[in-house]
Structure 1
Amino acid sequence: MSDLATRARTLLDLHTAPEVLVLANVWDVVSARTVAAVPGVGALATASHSIAATFGYEDGENIPLELHLDMVRRIVEAVDVPVTMDFEAGYGDAGATARRAIEVGVVGGNLEDQMKPLDEAVAAVEAVLAAGRDAGIDFVLNARTDAVVRAGDKPRTQVLDEVVERGRAFLAAGAPVVFVPGLVARDEIKAVAEAFGPQRLTVISVPGVSLSTAELGDLGVARVSTGPFTQRVALTALQDAAAAVVGGGTLPASTRALN
């Protein structure tokens, strides 16, 4: 367990360091090993959407937890860096799911609030953190609020107020960082980062939309992840290569032997 505690502390230190933590999400052993081999990568994050897609399931806790955890275990065992797992909304019992994730070697996790009543969402955050304490580690919870992605037609000021209210509640409950998917505008990111405090905000990098990771770091963002988009990058390259070959061409000359 001491090794697990060390990995958890390493992951937490990466979140609180002055430099922004960039996590290119992975979904299987070969993607994990490929990303872990990149210079400067100190931790890995799994993408629930991508793992589900690997086995033919739709996102949203449709993949059985046993199958999901088995893939995460394989990833953890294949690399030497800390791994944080996206366990969505906790599969009905956030504390129990966190305990099972810790058992396979995970030292951090994402937990969606799905805009449930705030007291319920805070209780789920507390349950995950308690699971970490029971295991003797500083579990790095990336507490996610869906206030932006589920905003609908609410006025933007109301949406941002909800982001700040819910994020501060999760931080007060002990979560080290708060994840706000859908937050991409510079002024909004700056405002939320200031409301949360230094090194407390996590965002996702969206192709063709998001600011650069360097710019996000300058705005006070603690962590930038890629969610399902790294798998989509890989699949885009695969489909383009297949189209080139089927169309009479060749595979890209830049292809490297990464496995």
Structure 2
Amino acid sequence: MLRHLFGEPERQDSGLILKTNQVLGRYLNDLHDIESKGQSDLSKLRRWEIWVHSFITAVDELEQGVYSSLKYSEQVLNRNVEDMKSEEQTEYRRYLYYYKNSFIRVFAILDKLGFFLNERLHLNTEKVKPRFSYFTVIRQMHDRHIQTDLEQKLYNLKVKYSEPLNKLRDYRNVEIHSINYEAADDLLHSATVGAFSWNHIENLPGNNQILQKCFEMVCETIIAIYNAPCFTDGRA
């Protein structure tokens, strides 16, 4: 949808996003087969179908944001805002918009996955922590020894992507709960060089690499969940 902004054709799915959509599509087909055979409660099937469609949309929107962040960052050549001409400053602001939008979406999708797991596996995580996250749900699966194979896969993904995920979480927390993240980067830079400047910009290629890794983590997590035997028969 957003590739037209760069004069490009619509995305042709390949690689990880293709695999993610294939897994989700196969799960939808399984739900339809179960419905046709009258093997499960219709209201539950509809609810599970809504979950799948929400993840298909969420992954698509995240990929577009990640891609747009990358494309706009490629137009930013200077490391200080004061050295940029008006057009480059505009490209930088567009980069910031899609980068922030994307790192917020990463954790929104993970938390949706947490709510899905909590509901489907009857984990009752809200009794342990009323405002729980995806990572709280994984801990609950571990503590209660529920679907241990799936829990181990999800934990391994958490460990595999811990470094980029932790960095992105810090950006997210600063952006949502404190000053915006680019201002925080200015403060960090000033502490390093000994002089404060609002105009220093962050490491855009490094940021995009972190964001891409977290996108991969989201996709691999969805694939692991929807390929799990406890879900592939449409029953939890």
Question: What range is the shorter-chain TM-score in?
Answer: under 0.3
Relative to the length of structure 1, the TM-score reads 0.24
Larger radius of gyration: 2
Q: From the two aligned structures, give the one with the greater helix fraction.
A: 2
